[in-house]
């Protein structure tokens, strides 16, 4: 395993739609996922998409820590994921991104999504995700399409350095 270099906003790999993995790519996928897991653990985030480590392939990993609310999820890999929103109004929630270090923002996302894809063994998997689980999958799938969270925002007052937001409080306080 290896800790990989994380691309930061401004690197063109983050704006490029990623290529799907093929059935024969499984050994390559396993190595990539193992390296991404080590990189994520080192960086201390909750999700990472392959383009963030300069691999323009449709692979992502994420986890849902217990303190984020909802059902906690262990580290999970999704290959060639497809998501579909469950109809409903968008919800704002705080996000950060290892490719945009130091900053945080309240980003509108679908409250719930249906997701499908392949697991690390190449087996089809699918489900419905709500809350933070739905948010982290939407954030990581966006990376596979060359989309970073600021491109989803409409109110940039809700973006700032994490340290300052912690110090002065969230401008969203009291809102859902």
| Beta bridge mates, 81 | none
Closest CB to Ni ion among 27 and 44? 44
Q: Which residues are 117's β-sheet partners?
A: 125
Task: Phi first, then psi: give them for residue 127, nearest 5 degrees.
Answer: 180, -175
Contact stretch for Ni ion (CB under 5 A) within 2-10, 68-76, 89-97, 102-110: 89-97
CB 139 within 8 A of CB 151: no
Active-site annotation holder among 55, 84, 95, 140: 140
**What's the closest the beta carbon of residue 52 comes to Ni ion, in angstroms?**
6
61 or 97, CB closer to Ni ion?
97
CA distances from 174 to 130, 135, 169 (A): 21, 20, 11
Q: Residue count at the site for Ni ion (CB under 5 A)? A: 1
Of 21, 40, 59, 97, the residue at the interface with Ni ion (CB under 5 A) is 97
Q: Tell me the C-alpha distance between 79 and 31, whole Å.
A: 13
**Interaction residues for Ni ion, span 4-23 (CB under 5 A):** none
Minimum CB distance to Ni ion smaller for 59 or for 97: 97
**C-alpha distances in angstroms, 54 versus 6, 57, 132?**
7, 9, 26
CB of 14 to Ni ion, least distance (A): 9
User: Is 140 among the residues known to form the active site?
Assistant: yes
Interface ranges with Ni ion (CB under 5 A): 97
Question: Catalytic site residues?
Answer: 140
């Amino acid at each position: 395993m290896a800790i990989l270099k994380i691309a930061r906003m401004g690197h063109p790999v983050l704006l490029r739609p990623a290529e799907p993995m093929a059935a024969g790519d499984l050994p390559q996928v396993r190595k990539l996922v193992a390296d991404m897991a080590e990189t994520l653990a080192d960086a201390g985030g909750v999700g990472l998409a392959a383009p963030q480590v300069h691999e323009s392939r449709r692979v992502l990993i994420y986890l849902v820590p217990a303190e984020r609310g909802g059902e906690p999820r262990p580290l999970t890999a999704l290959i060639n994921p497809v998501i579909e929103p469950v109809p409903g109004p968008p919800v704002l929630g705080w996000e950060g991104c290892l490719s945009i270090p130091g900053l945080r923002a309240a980003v509108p996302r679908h409250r719930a999504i249906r997701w499908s894809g392949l697991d690390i063994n190449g087996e089809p998997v699918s489900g419905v995700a709500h809350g933070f689980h739905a948010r982290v999958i939407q954030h990581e799938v966006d990376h596979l399409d060359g989309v970073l969270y600021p491109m989803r925002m409409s109110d940039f007052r809700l973006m700032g350095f994490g340290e300052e937001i912690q110090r002065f409080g969230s401008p969203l306080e009291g809102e859902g």
